[in-house]
């Protein structure tokens, strides 16, 4: 047995700011995002409305090589930011495929995402009271969307009431021969996630 101290409501934990109100709870990483922008000298940049304009540019090209270390640091920082920013998950996953040999094109895309983050510092996960407390999931998949190896992208998101509690965006392990096969694969992955979430909620 040991003594513990009640520190009250959680307000800040591992770069995640928790804002309490009587009717809702907001999780945001605004301070972490600000520190990230300062680190990569993007705090005074002109922000953009979308995280990325041309996804077709994200492939192995012949543009000059960039600073590998800085590119990996940016991607690593963005991966941690996706804890409260599901809108960045897909694009960060795309850029993370080029960690070994990034080029100037990939660096420009990463800086474009940082400019988007600069204009959306207050975004985060919002949890509201009330509503139907029911687990709902959504899945989707493209077909041969990866321009490099033609693999499909699986994506799913689960809500509990009004709260987003689980999401994923990743390449499928094999090449699907049809759009139906790609959809069945993501449905199978999402079903496993749904079963795990139901068991977790049952235990809680």
DSSP E strand stretches across 2-112 = 12-13, 16-20, 24-28
Average pLDDT over residues 2-15: 85
Residue with token string 């920082």: 77
Average pLDDT over residues 75-99: 88
Q: What is the mean pLDDT of the chain?
A: 85
Q: Where are the domains of the chain?
A: 12-124, 132-203
- At residue 56 the predicted structure's pLDDT band, cuts being 50, 70 and 90, is low
CA distances (Å), 182 to each of 118, 145, 156, 171, in order? 35, 11, 13, 10
What is the rounded distance in angstroms from the CA atom of residue 112 to the CA atom of residue 88?
12
pLDDT at 55 over 70: no
Residue 110 in 3-state DSSP?
Answer: helix
**Cβ(72)–Cβ(111) under 8 Å?**
no
What pLDDT is attached to residue 14? 86
Cα 88-196-193 angle, rounded to 5 deg: 40
Per-residue pLDDT, averaged over 148-176, amounts to 82
Please say whether the beta carbons of 100 and 71 come within 8 A.
Answer: no
pLDDT at 73 over 90: yes
Residue 22 has pLDDT above 70, yes or no: yes
What is the rounded CA–CA span in Å between residue 70 and residue 54? Answer: 22
Q: Which helix (H) or strand (E) holds 82?
A: none
* pLDDT of residue 146 exceeding 80: no
For residue 32, what pLDDT is reported?
92
CA distance 136 to 162: 10
In the DSSP assignment, the letter for residue 146 is -
């Amino acid at each position: 047995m040991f003594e513990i101290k009640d520190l009250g409501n959680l307000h800040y934990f591992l770069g995640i700011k928790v804002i309490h109100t009587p009717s809702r709870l907001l999780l945001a990483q605004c301070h972490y995002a600000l520190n990230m922008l300062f680190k990569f000298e993007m705090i005074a940049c002109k922000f953009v409305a979308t995280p990325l304009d041309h996804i077709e540019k994200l492939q192995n090209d012949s543009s000059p090589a960039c600073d590998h270390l800085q590119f990996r640091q940016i991607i690593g920082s963005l991966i941690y930011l996706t804890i409260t920013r599901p809108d960045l998950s897909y694009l960060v996953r795309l850029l993370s495929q080029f960690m070994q040999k990034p080029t100037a094109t990939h660096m420009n895309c990463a800086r474009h995402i940082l400019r988007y983050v600069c204009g959306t510092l207050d975004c985060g996960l919002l949890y509201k009271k009330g509503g139907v407390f029911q687990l709902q999931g959504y899945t989707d998949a493209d077909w041969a969307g990866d321009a490099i190896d033609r693999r499909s992208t699986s994506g799913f998101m689960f809500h509990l009431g009004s709260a987003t509690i689980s999401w994923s965006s990743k390449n499928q392990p094999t090449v699907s021969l049809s759009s139906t096969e790609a959809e069945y694969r993501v449905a199978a992955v999402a079903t496993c996630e749904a079963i795990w979430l139901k068991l977790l909620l049952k235990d809680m």
